[in-house]
Amino acid sequence: MKRVITYGTYDLLHYGHINLLRRAKALGDYLIVALSTDEFNQDAKGKKTYFSYEIRKNLLESIRYVDLVIPEKNWEQKIADIQNYQVDVFVMGDDWAGKFDFLKDYCDVVYLERTPDISTTKIKAELMGQ
């Protein structure tokens, strides 16, 4: 079984997220999503989510491409996750291109093109009238 992992906040879930998850799942048989916890988002990323971790987790678990959701609690856990879950492919959006190349010692690293014209940041800005 080929295992794939990706990481993210997945707040205000939108079709760009679904496209990423669909394409990530197509790279293997089993997709793991490491979902940023509320504490990690606030303390390390400096952002507050609209939906709580539990709601975001429930939303992700309802998507047919997602097989398992685990918590992302810190930046440093990626190598341990890859080893613990026997991951074959690490996937991120291409806005992160090159930043996770150090993981190539542990698995394949793939950067997928982002869906044009959609992001949670853009949605929030439009909702705020900016």
Catalytic residue among 47, 73, 122, 124: 47
Helices (H), 26-114: 38-43, 53-61, 78-84
Decide: 85 and 99 in contact? Cβ < 8 Å.
no
Q: Dihedral (C-alpha) 128, 72, 89, 91: value to the nearest 10 degrees?
A: 10
Catalytic residue among 2, 45, 99, 104: 45
> Does the active-site annotation cover 45?
yes
Cα 100–Cα 91–Cα 38 angle in degrees, nearest 5: 85
Gap between the terminal Cα atoms of the chain? 46
> So which residues are the catalytic ones?
45, 47
